[in-house]
Amino acid sequence: MTPRDGTETPEAVRPPEGTPRTDLPGDGEAEDGGDFITLVPGPLTGVFRRGWAWLEDRTGITAALHRRLYEAVPKQGGWFYTLGSATLVIILVQFFTGIFLLLDYVPSVTQAYSSLEFLRTNDLFGDWMRGIHLWGAYILMLLIGLHALRTFMSASYKKPRELNWMVGVTLFFLVLAMAITGAMLPWDQASYWTATVVTNIPHYLPIIGNGVRTLWRGGDFVGQITLTRTFALHIWVLPALLVALIGAHLLLLFRHGEFGSWVNYRTTSADPAAEVAERVRRAEPPYPTRGAEPLYSVPRETVDFFPNQLFKDTVVSFVLVIFVFVMGLISGAPLDGPANPATLTYVPTPEWFYLPLDQLLVFFPTQLVGFGVFIIVGIGATVMLLLPFIDRNPERHPIRRPDVLVPAFFLIGTVIYLAMLGVNRLYNL
Amino acid sequence: MPQMILALSTNPVPGTVLTNTVMVGMVALLHVLFATFLIGSSTLVALSEGISMVTHDERHERLARSLVHWWGYVFSTGAAIAIFFVIFVLVGVWGRFFVTFQQFTFWVWFFEALTFIGEIVLLYTLYANWERMRAYRRTRLGMVILLNIDQWFQMFFIDVIASQMLTPTVQGATVNTSYLLQFLNPTNLPLTIHRTIGNIAWAGAIVTITSAFQYLRATRREEAPALASGRREPVRALGAMPEGELVRERNREAAYWDWAGQWGMLFAFGFTIVQVWVGYSYAKEIQLHSLDSWYQMMYGWISNIFLGQFAGIGLIFIFGVAYFWRRLKAAGQTALARRQQVLLVLLILLFLFGLQPAWFAGSYPDIVAAHLDKPFWQGGLEDPLGFFFPWKVIVLIADVLIAIFALTFYLRARVRTPMTMGQASRGSQRLLIALGIVVGLMMLIMGIIRESSRSPYLVNQNITINHQVILQQPAPNLPLNQRPIGP
């Protein structure tokens, strides 16, 4: 454990949960706004100080901020832990750009396309906003996938963080659902045929398949009801679930603290048990993690979240946001011709993150499509969700976890390969 | 100049199509075995060198050194065969093909040659200076990685050519095809991935075969009792060597070769698991983009060779899991060994089930022509349980899952309970040799299937084998929609 000032504090004892730390800079000023006042320009200081004191009096915000900002995080590997916060930032970008798009968009089969045409041609920055929304979705998919991969590789999902992993996996599925429902809204050729293909997939389910398809489509064919229901899913149902689960994800993270990875828990002394006991004795909140094995309850070295980790989080998020904005401006979001159910020549192509699934559909013969799509993908999704309960080996080092890493590499390799094949196939259509 | 070359190479070299094909096939396959080993082994060297730098494991350092030591011989032989293949065999017997193909894939060949030069520079530098560069291990590793990249691109460029021969981007046009489209032709990606994985599996197979032989040598039966008990010196002694040193030396050697055989086997076995899926996707792309060739593979005379490929996959898994079983048993992990035994029985049953031919004839059209396209119990020559869909697909999926389980169980056992090296049974080493040989055979069979599936074309729909002329009309076969297709 390395205290912020670099000196040893052997007598440090973990304060009770929720107690604000008293050895932090600015704690003496907490009642009148604390050290945040120093960030405010001179003439406004008095006003801000009074305002902050009013807010502090009613909410206790200073202590809460201090608790979060100065909580300990593992020292090693900080850049890898930025993926979660970057994901959150991009989700926020998606919410804001989505709200702007809602100002123009009309969820009607006769007006959806023209409303986007209007947005593209008449609305200042409208097209850019659409571009940001699309590229934000792309980056979000990539980020959430990498975040999940990082969590998997570092075995952060193990006891007592099982529930947080499950919430995270559900968030991943929700983002996928957001992406596919969003792709169906513009009601151009691409989205119409995407809607046709996607809403048809449930019918491969035995017994309930046709019912689910009819429910989603609002009939036998894709039409106005399909659009209305998909719109409702995209802007109400899924975001509400997303926000709730993000809240749960963060709460659980605050409770258990950042795990980091196995490198943060290596012991170096001849008496590992004594070393671990000493770590636990000197742990700073939120460590030691309740319910974890002693070895994995406190990282070997920690730093404060602010400014160390927050700086890294900000850099990564900032770079990604800039990238999304630039790509939104340069590349924008495509808009095909208006939806035409009578066309015979249009070849629908999925978004890149659905290419593996699409390629799976290509590979399976008709009689095995249901098996391929629902059994294989279903088993994969269930295993992913229940991973912490399947992999109960306490080891965290990847080399010592071949029982999950070998199948996982096979699975990840397959997904990447299918995506590559899908891209290649698109060039050969 | 191009006209002159064309004029020189227009006339076919005397000889039959069969003779020429066999000659090309033999030399090409021989070349493939050398070249693929080099590419795969450089990956293994990079891996072992990297691991030994991090963990200071002397076994990895020794393995990397041994492989680099082989490179000199393997590369010079493989390169000589390649040069002989291109200059004499290919230009000699299929001159028109080579010159025509050169015209529209000139830059691909050019960059292929450049990577060849890069390979010569890097490989010989490493071969000649491996020990001297020990003080600069990072540089040495960097050079090995560079060599890997260079060789991968070399393979990629030749795959552009090979895949273009099977699924040309533009049917009926061998000239003026964009290079980008050549690179993106439908089967280039699966072929490249298939070969990348296959190369590593093959290099692993060579390592495992060699190590198994060396292990058998180090634990020869007449010396085994002495080695095991350490009671007396073995038959031979070395000068003034201290008493018992020869036994200890032999034990050290046995431990190393036991480890190396297992290390190579994990690549040969593990990468073959991936090959099943990649191979399936490759066949699917052929079906989608070159139905003629796919038809030859699945229904034509090659279908029986294809069945051999299917059997090969099953044998690799059987030998591999049998090795896991024997090795765990030798290590005293009886319960885990029994689990492997159960998986082995399942694999054997699947192998026998999957080995059934779908029809008892040379090709499917044959039995259709004879009106015998009905199940054998109705007097026909069909065996419905041998059809690819769904039976062989199910067998493949089950094979892959079992192989993944077996590998996972074995690695888990290795991780959780330390295994003493040098205790492997001699029978387990014979299994490794058999596994390695089947991996090599699979590479040859795969080559034969792919190259024969285009028949009668050298470049699909463009140049035929027997007349060496560019055709502008489709194959002189029945239209696809009139051909018999099995259920």
CB of B485 within 8 Å of a chain A CB? The answer is no
Mutate to test the interface with A, among B411, B414, B419 (most CBs of A within 10 A): B411
- Cβ within 8 Å of residue A352, ≥6 positions away: A138, A419, A422, A423
Rounded to a whole number of angstroms, the distance from the CA of B285 to the nearest CA of chain A is 9
Q: Do A418 and A360 form a contact (C-beta atoms < 8 A)? A: yes
DSSP designation for A271: -
Query: B415 and A363: CB-CB below 8 Å?
Result: no
Burial tier of A57 (Cβ tally within 10 Å: 0-12, 13-18, 19+)? exposed
Rounded to a whole number of angstroms, the distance from the CA of B356 to the nearest CA of chain A is 21
CB of B300 within 8 Å of a chain A CB? The answer is no
Q: String of b and e for B144-160 (b: at least 16 CB within 10 Å)?
A: bbbbbebbbbbbbbbbb
Pairing of strands A72-74, B463-464: unpaired
The answer for B 365-404 residues in CB contact with A (under 8 A) is 389-390, 393, 404
State both tokens at B387: 């059809």
H/E run at residue A302: strand A302-304
Q: What is the DSSP string of B211-247?
A: HHHHHHHHT-TTTHHHHHH--S--S---TTPPTTHHH
Report whether the peptide linkage leading into residue A41 is cis, meaning its omega lies within 30 degrees of zero.
Answer: no
What residues in A contact B181, CB-CB < 8 Å? 427
pLDDT digits (tens, 9 = 90+) for A9-53: 444 444 455 454 444 444 444 444 456 667 767 777 788 888 888
pLDDT over 60 at A361, yes or no: yes
CB of A45 within 8 Å of a chain B CB? The answer is no
**What pLDDT shows up at residue B56?**
94
What residues in B contact A424, CB-CB < 8 Å? 184, 186, 188-189
In degrees rounded to 5, what are phi and psi of residue A249?
-60, -45
CB of A380 within 8 Å of a chain B CB? The answer is no
| Dist. CA A93–CA B194, nearest whole Å | 41
pLDDT digits (tens, 9 = 90+) for A263-282: 999 998 889 999 999 999 99
| Dist. CA A177–CA A246, nearest whole Å | 15
Other beta carbons within 10 Å of A60: 12
Rounded to a whole number of angstroms, the distance from the CA of A422 to the nearest CA of chain B is 10
> If we measure between CA atoms, which residue out of A68, A6, A9, A16 comes closest to residue A282?
A9
**What pLDDT shows up at residue A26?**
42
CB of A322 within 8 Å of a chain B CB? The answer is no
Rounded to a whole number of angstroms, the distance from the CA of B346 to the nearest CA of chain A is 19
Closest-approach residue (CA) in chain B for A420: B189
Query: Which residue ranges of chain B lie beneath pLDDT 70?
Result: 1-17, 20, 169-177, 221-243, 465-487
CB of A362 within 8 Å of a chain B CB? The answer is yes
| Dist. CA B11–CA B7, nearest whole Å | 8
State both tokens at A188: 């151009």
**What pLDDT shows up at residue B85?**
84
Which residue among A363, A407, A413 places its CB closest to the CB of B408? A407
Burial tier of B138 (Cβ tally within 10 Å: 0-12, 13-18, 19+)? exposed
**What pLDDT shows up at residue A205?**
82
**What pLDDT shows up at residue B471?**
44
In degrees rounded to 5, what are phi and psi of residue A72?
-80, 145
Task: Please give the mean pLDDT across all residues of chain A.
Answer: 88
**What pLDDT shows up at residue A28?**
43
Rounded to a whole number of angstroms, the distance from the CA of A397 to the nearest CA of chain B is 11
CA B196 to chain centre: 9
Which residue among A368, A421, A424 places its CB closest to the CB of B390? A368
pLDDT over 90 at A429, yes or no: no
Interface A:B, Cβ pairs < 8 A: 61
| Dist. CA B294–CA B190, nearest whole Å | 15
Q: Do B450 and B80 form a contact (C-beta atoms < 8 A)? A: no
DSSP designation for B391: I
Task: Please give the mean pLDDT across all residues of chain B.
Answer: 85
Q: What is the ipTM of this complex?
A: 0.84
State both tokens at B339: 């689990």
